[in-house]
Structure 1
Amino acid sequence: MAEQQFHSGFVSIIGRPNVGKSTLLNRILGDKIVITSDKPQTTRNRIQGIHNLPGCQIVFIDTPGIHRAKSRLNKYMVDVALSSIKEVDVILFLVEADTKPANQEETILNTLANADAPVVLVINKTDLVAKESLLEKMAAYSSLYPFRAVVPVSALTGDGTDKLVQVVRELLPEGPAYFPDDILTDVPERFVVAEIIREKVFRLTHDEVPYSVAVVVESFKERPDGLVAISAVINVERDSQKGIIIGRKGEMLKKIGIQARGEIEQLLDTKVFLELFVRVSREWSENKQMLKEFGYE
């Protein structure tokens, strides 16, 4: 009996902001490795999630939303997303079932015209629309691009995600496992901790404040008793934003810390002492050196 070949490959998830890319990846992996919020442009970096199946390893790449970028930070985010479609084995183009095709998506489709990898259209948020509307959406997008497959899903409920994984698996080439089968992501714990803190800022603050925040973990030490002591700085661009994040009598910063610590303890499976500071780093999102220091560019 012939030995069954192992299949593996890299799969980029792209789309405009806030279509559910990170939620979809977390759902497929069955664990949270990517932060989410109801605000667009939550994801800023390329993050790899590793999904192991019998005879197969799929490395999903979550990317920032593709949008009209103005600041240096946003241009970096779009560059990260667009560069992810090169040298991957499959591209998942994620759109929403409850919205019409937007100009941003037409721009993405024009970019995909030069892609070498097969493109799968993933229509997310199917739980929000009727079947007739979904069929119309599938037909509308299929007229714009020769997708290898069209898969409706609900990242929120998990409906359709098993089928999506199967479609991806069938498109992957033979190849080795790129990562050990006991890890979910290749990003370091420090990065995930910083992202968890930033997520809490996104969820708890409003207006321009979340978009002006960069979190840097400055110290990460495991004590002899097993407790992990973490010190992190929340960087903002203006004094007024610092005041909002600290809050009246420090209440907002305390709330951010409590929510973040609980999730970090789940991640590390140990008790955590989390110390947060807020620093004004003026116009950091336009400063090339600061972007590099904060993990962008």
Structure 2
Amino acid sequence: MEQQRSFGSHTTGTLYLVPTPIGNLGDMTIRAIEILKTVDLIAAEDTRHTQMLLNHFEIKTKTISFHEHNTQMRIPELLAKLANGETIAQVSDAGMPSISDPGKELVRAAIDAGVPVVPLPGANAATTALIASGLPPQPFLFYGFLPRKAGEKNRELEKLAHESATLLFYESPHRVGKTLAAMQTAFGDRQAALARELTKKFETFIRGSLSALQTYAAGDLKGEFVIMVEGAADKPAVDVTVPLKMQVEAIVATGAKPNAAIKLVAKQNGLAKQVVYDAYHELEK
């Protein structure tokens, strides 16, 4: 067991995790500005992007790059500075460090080295979108970005198909349509919501079924998106008098693909998938 006292006397420097605005610069907290002004160094995902933020708040602290491509090279250097008593603030381009952004490896390394890690609260796209989505905010499951390859994406969505919590994803504008289609295949035509350009001038929420949202996504989209999907309904009681084939057909009628429906019926009935597959396709034993 390890216990950290964030504030007080330490033999090392401190690693601060500082969130930055996801759009509106007015969301920068007073504490975050003070920390960035007083630390010895700022480790930034993109130093050029961060410098614009620093210039706006007249912060003169030196920056150093820390991103997914130089993580392993940079961590020993940053740990050496922390061991020497320097304080470092780690920031991503927008939002919370480590949440779909660089940071977690540095945090783990700092903890292992006995360096105190102090997080600051601040802007986060997922929870900001969730509270205005109209979907149940508790419980929720934050996934982040799905795999880009279709096969891997579909497998991940199938794993989440029976999750009862509201599901939160990040997605780029040119993949939103395909991702929504994959979600409908895996989940059926559930209620969902899209949030784009959060905290910016063109902030927009689109709410409706997954099929309806695909109609919106067929247009020319811009900006980063948060996709929110209602969780699976409670497992229905299975009427064993209803033939397996009819059970599958009822689920397919909601918009699910046959294979996804077969898996669900098999799980509900405690049967092997092959048994339900044979029944659905009326294959002779």
Rg bigger for which structure? 2
Fold equivalence (TM over 0.5): no
TM-score (norm 2): 0.30
TM-score (norm 1): 0.29
Q: Which has the higher strand share?
A: 1
